[in-house]
Amino acid sequence: MSVKKEVLGYLPDERPPFFELILFALQQIVVMFPATVLVALLTNFHVSTTIFASGLATLCFILITGKKLPLYYGSSFSYIAAIASIMSAEAFANYTLDERISVAQFGIVMSGFVSILAGFIVNKSGKKVIDKILPPSVTGSIAIIIGLSLAANAMGNAAAVPQYINNNVAEAQAVYDSIEDKNSAEAVEAKDEIEKAEQQKAAASNYAWLIAIITLLSTVLYSVYLKGKLSQLPILFGLFTGYLAAVIIGFATGIQFISFDTIQSNYILNLPKFTLPKPTWAAVLAIMPIAIATIPESTAHVYQLHIYVNDLVKKKKSTKEYDIESKLGLNLIGDGIGDIVSGLIGGPAGTNYGENISTMAITKNFSVPVLIAASIITMIISCFTPLINAVYSIPTCVIGGLSIYLFGVIGAQGITIMLDKKLDMFSARNLAVIAVILIVGLGGSFNFEGGMIPMFGAKLPALATAAVIGILLNLMLSVKNSDNGDAQAA
């Protein structure tokens, strides 16, 4: 007698039991936290405010979209250069940090209106027009470069040593540089200290790699071999395994991979610092146009989600229908609302996160209630110093180990889009579009500082540039197209 195998997973409108819901929510927070915090650090925005804004914007996004789209809103890398240009502009050199943030906020809020307008246009145009402008050759390629362009971040994090070790090297070098007589006994002693600090850094880097490898392998093994309910928590279990490895290795070697005093405060409760937007044309011109370039990225995310949710529907033999790809316009409207909410309180511009979609795809958990819980917990974390420090205590090399897997899955989802749409890979037009998007996106990300392509006197974000060029190239090659094999791309 054959035993019917139960298919585990949660569809968007399904709610796990309370304890599972909390664990799933924590798993979603873990994967979005590093990138969201990194954007705050790179743009000089307040970290706690950025975290709070991420949770609040996610909650607003879910409510605005009628709980139909299981997506998490986090700070977007696409806006970093534009926001940084405002934060460092000479025109605002005499402004305080909060005043400069307020100026940038206005541009972020206005970029939200661009996304909302795009959403209404998409809803009015219909699916055929959208498929013509954003075929799978474009959206699939964009998904691939989103994941692969983050490969350097993942590998860099995997090799990262604790900051105090880098500080030791810098301090030893500074002492040596300050000595005038390089032949003196003092200089020789200082040089020895530099060598010791460098040796410690080299050893720490090797141990960081070991921790990252343990994290990566354990996460992969958990996702492949765990059965039952446990199979839905591989990211969280991988994190715990890597964290435990860091504790053990730190205890054995004396290298402190874990620290709980990143944010020092005498108060347990610290509310985020909220600021109000300050209307400035410079911020509008610098930040607002970026919203147009992020539309293909959002489209790729929606198509990814549609494929994975409906795959789970088939496996569960459910009678439910989830036409997620038709909600692209709704997603853009929700994304714009998220930008406005984040911008109004002092958070960076954002978008729905591929890392969270990867986690959902791996765990087969697309529950909207889980994301609601994650957004609420995120806001709570941002208000309590011990909780923020607990999240910060996760070693960077552990995050690196997780990221290698997650970012790779984002890239693989791009291939899934092409396969699901049965894209003709023998079509000259499709190959041309895919080739240009991949090389401009990846080449621009890796060859130019900050992923900003210097072109015609301006610096253009590699991902956004690749998307726009791919869209225009596809439209150009679609004019008077007689190749029947290319019909699938249109």
Residue 223 tokens read as 């996702």
- Average the pLDDT over 166-194 and give the result: 87
Question: Which of these, 392, 160, 163, 379, lies nearest to 264 by C-alpha position?
Answer: 392
Residues sharing a CB contact under 8 Å with residue 26, sequence separation 6 or more, in sequence order:
236, 374, 377
Residues sharing a CB contact under 8 Å with residue 207, sequence separation 6 or more, in sequence order:
249, 253, 255, 257
Look at 61-75, 123-137, 234-248 and tell me which has the smallest mean pLDDT.
123-137
Look at 84-93, 149-158, 354-363 and tell me which has the smallest mean pLDDT.
84-93
**Does the pLDDT value for residue 482 go beyond 50?**
no
Q: How high is the pLDDT of residue 67? A: 93
pLDDT tens, position by position, 250-284:
999 999 999 887 777 777 888 899 999 999 888 88
- Average the pLDDT over 196-207 and give the result: 93
pLDDT class of 244 with cuts at 50, 70, 90: very high
pLDDT class of 33 with cuts at 50, 70, 90: confident
- Average the pLDDT over 368-388 and give the result: 93
Residue 214 tokens read as 């343990």
Mean pLDDT of the chain: 88
**Identity of the residue numbered 146:** I
- Average the pLDDT over 44-56 and give the result: 92
CA torsion, ordered 413, 415, 420, 422, to nearest 10 deg: 170
Whole-Å CA distances, 191 to 109, 171, 175, 196, 203: 52, 12, 9, 9, 18
- Average the pLDDT over 8-22 and give the result: 93
**Does the pLDDT value for residue 129 go beyond 90?**
no
Q: How high is the pLDDT of residue 5? A: 63
Q: How high is the pLDDT of residue 488? A: 46
pLDDT class of 304 with cuts at 50, 70, 90: confident
- Compute how many other C-beta atoms are within 10 angstroms of the C-beta atom of residue 203: 14
**Does the pLDDT value for residue 29 go beyond 60?**
yes
Three-state secondary structure call for residue 352: strand
**Identity of the residue numbered 408:** G
Work out the percent of the chain whose per-residue pLDDT is above 70.
Answer: 96
Residues sharing a CB contact under 8 Å with residue 156, sequence separation 6 or more, in sequence order:
400
Euclidean distance between CA atoms 148 and 143, whole angstroms: 9
Question: DSSP secondary-structure letter at 365?
Answer: B
Euclidean distance between CA atoms 289 and 83, whole angstroms: 12
Q: What percent of the residues of the chain are helix, what percent strand, and what percent coil, each to the nearest 5?
A: 75, 5, 25
Look at 43-47, 105-109, 468-472 and tell me which has the smallest mean pLDDT.
43-47
Q: How high is the pLDDT of residue 480? A: 64
Look at 37-46, 247-256, 365-374 and tell me which has the smallest mean pLDDT.
37-46
pLDDT class of 481 with cuts at 50, 70, 90: low
pLDDT tens, position by position, 60-69:
999 999 999 9
Q: What is the pTM of this model?
A: 0.79
**Does the pLDDT value for residue 90 go beyond 50?**
yes
**Does the pLDDT value for residue 168 go beyond 80?**
yes
Q: How high is the pLDDT of residue 475? A: 92
With contact defined as beta carbons under 8 Å apart, do 187 and 237 qualify? no
Question: Which of these, 402, 145, 219, 415, lies nearest to 304 by C-alpha position?
Answer: 415
Residue with the bigger pLDDT between 77 and 147: it is: 147
**Does the pLDDT value for residue 3 go beyond 70?**
no
Euclidean distance between CA atoms 23 and 363, whole angstroms: 12
pLDDT tens, position by position, 442-465:
998 889 877 778 888 877 778 878
pLDDT tens, position by position, 69-81:
999 998 887 787 6
Q: How high is the pLDDT of residue 4? A: 54
Euclidean distance between CA atoms 114 and 3, whole angstroms: 53
With contact defined as beta carbons under 8 Å apart, do 26 and 342 qualify? no
Q: How high is the pLDDT of residue 484? A: 45
**Does the pLDDT value for residue 286 go beyond 70?**
yes
pLDDT tens, position by position, 384-414:
888 888 888 889 899 899 989 988 888 888 8
Q: How high is the pLDDT of residue 486? A: 46
Residue 384 tokens read as 């309590």
Q: How high is the pLDDT of residue 44? A: 82
